[in-house]
Structure 1
Amino acid sequence: MSDKEAPDAPEAKKKGGKKKWLLIGVSLLVLVGGGVGGGLYASNAGLIGGAKAEAGEAETSGPRLVPKSEQVRASAAEGEGSGEGGSRPPAGAGGEKYASTYYAMEKEFTSNLRESVHFIQVGIAISTPYDNTVIENLKTHEMAVRSQVLLTLGETSEDDVFTAAGKEKLAKRLAAAINAVLKQKEGFGGIGNVYFTNFIVQ
């Protein structure tokens, strides 16, 4: 009998050892899986660095607002100094919070006025508080933008072009029309204001 019991003892030890390693492996998988799951949940809930990462991704994937402190001043771009004893306030002091970037469209727009024998010829420039992405989008889709501006001008009445209030209203309509085109094409408008660089009614 003792001869038969001797071989069974190592088998029992082997089975017990396999179970032990199997339990350790399963425990490690549960711990690692739980840790990864918990980390992903905390990240998505904004408990650890997730909100900052998402905000950074959103900023880099689209236009970024340019703080006034980063604004390139005209005199700095031309290499001029501020002069001796200049009393100019530093960039970012007062006024709007964000810098304005301006872009003048090269060609003027000519259109008939609605229900009128008169026509209008305007030059326009836009401003945006965002980085150059908006200007690049505008240049990329210039043909579509020009078409929409002409349609908007064609819907303008004489009353809107002979008064300052009417011209301001027209500028807002043009800004909305340009933003609509950019939103359709790029998913983001970004045009703050439209300015007239030339305005003739004949």
Structure 2
Amino acid sequence: MTNKKDKSAEPKKGKGIVKMLLIGVLLAGAGGGTVFALMAAGIIGDHPAKAKESGPQLVLKGEEDPYAPPAPKGHEETPELVHGEGGNKYRVAYYRFADDFTSNLKDTDALVQVSLAASTRRDGRVLMWLDEHQLAIRSRILVALADTPEEEVYTPEGKARLQKRLTAAVNDVLTEQEGFGGVDNVYFRTFIVQ
């Protein structure tokens, strides 16, 4: 009788070993799949997906911007820019809106007239997009100005809130049109209330 028990136990051992081998193969496959997925995502290894950009990149001071717009006529031979040692490690580029923005203020006859500039620490694509979508941006800024109460434009805190709203408005347009905002701040060049 002991022989029958031993014979019946042997196939169970064999099945157990086969199961363990299958589990080992599946885990190895899953591990390999995980490694492949990480490589495909560009997280590990030098895979082409790693080089793929997700939008305008931050530009360090002194680094060349591959998307820098050409120098304006008459400024082709500008001296090399020298940055200070401290402060932000990224270079800041500015875009000046050509025309002033004039709008009524909310629930009043008062008018506000501002000239604006925008800044970005990202590459020159943001500057190109600001120029390309200037009409849509202008419209969105005028809507934001028209939704501003008069009392808000007289205090520094109110102007700071307006500045944030205008920055968000510009980034909203760029995100809608290009899938990426990239404007860090909007600045008032002139600010007149009448």
- Whether TM-score is above 0.5 comes out as yes
Q: Tell me the alpha carbon deviations over residues 12-33 of structure 1, each in whole angstroms, 9 at most, x when there is no partner.
A: xxxxxxxxxxxxxxxxxxxxxx
CA–CA separation in structure 2 for the residues paired with 1:124 and 1:64: 24
Report what 1:68 is aligned to. 61
Q: Which residue of 1 aligns with 2:130?
A: 138
Q: Distance in 1 between matches of 2:144 and 2:38?
A: 49
- Aligned CA-pair RMSD: 2.6
What SS does structure 2 have at the residue aligned with 1:58?
Answer: coil
CA contact (8 A) 1:109 1:121 kept: yes
Structure 2 counterpart of 1:124, one-letter code: L
1:113 and 2:109 matched: no
Could you list the runs of 5+ residues in structure 1 that have no partner in the other structure?
Answer: 1-33, 83-89
In structure 2, relative to structure 1, the CA distance for the partners of 1:47 and 1:166 (3 Å cut) is closer
Structure 2 residue ranges without an equivalent (≥5): 1-28, 66-76
Report if aligned partners of 1:71, 1:91 keep a CA contact under 8 Å in 2: no
User: Residue 9 of structure 1 aligns with which residue?
Assistant: none
CA 1:47–1:123: 2 relative to 1, 3 Å: closer
Aligned to 1:86: none
What is the CA-CA distance between 1:92 and the residue it aligns to? 5.8
In the other structure, the counterpart of 1:49 is: 46
Higher alpha-carbon Rg: 1
Whether the aligned pair in 1 keeps the contact of 2:171 and 2:181 (CA below 8 Å) is: yes
1:191 matched to which residue of 2?
Answer: 183
1:159 Cα deviation after fit: 1.7
The list of structure 1 runs, each at least 4 consecutive aligned residues, that deviate by more than 3 angstroms after superposition, is: 37-42
Aligned to 2:162: 170
TM-score computed with the length of structure 2 as normaliser: 0.69
The CA distance in 1 between the partners of 2:100 and 2:108, in whole Å, is 20
SS at match of 2:166: helix
The 1:91/1:71 distance shift into structure 2, 3 A limit, reads farther
Q: Which amino acid aligns with 2:159?
A: K
- When residues 40 and 120 of structure 1 are mapped into structure 2, their CA distance, relative to the original with a 3 A threshold, is same
- Deviation string 1:27-60 (CA, Å, 9 cap, x unpaired) is xxxxxxx9xx87855632644323xx4332116x
Same amino acid, percent of matched pairs: 43
